[in-house]
Amino acid sequence: MTIRDRVIAIIAAQAMLDPGDVADDSTLADLGIDSLGLVESIFAIEEAFDITVPFNANEPDAGDFDISSVAAIVRAVEGLIAGPSAA
């Protein structure tokens, strides 16, 4: 399973959708995921990939972790997995 597939599976589970119903250009709001669901998704991503996501639940749009779309979240996770040397 690719990073993208795993991230989409996590987001789909939170949204109670089939992974095939999660499009790359979907926002979390499009998928019905609220702020609590976002936090739970972040925790699940951290656990699944053994990473620390630089995310502040009090200021979700501030910071380096882009949550603007599913594709942006996938890219951000890929970047965290690759580490700072890949930047």
The domains of the chain, with CATH numbers, are: 3-86 (1.10.1200.10)
pLDDT class of 67 with cuts at 50, 70, 90: very high
Residue of 42, 69, 40, 37 whose CA lies nearest to 53: 42
Average pLDDT, the chain: 91
pLDDT over threshold 60, residue 86:
no
Pair 22, 8: CB distance under 8 Å: yes
pLDDT class of 64 with cuts at 50, 70, 90: confident
The CA distance from 37 to 15, in Å, is 8
Indicate the pTM of the whole model: 0.89
Angle formed at CA 4 by CA 3 and CA 6, multiple of 5 degrees: 65
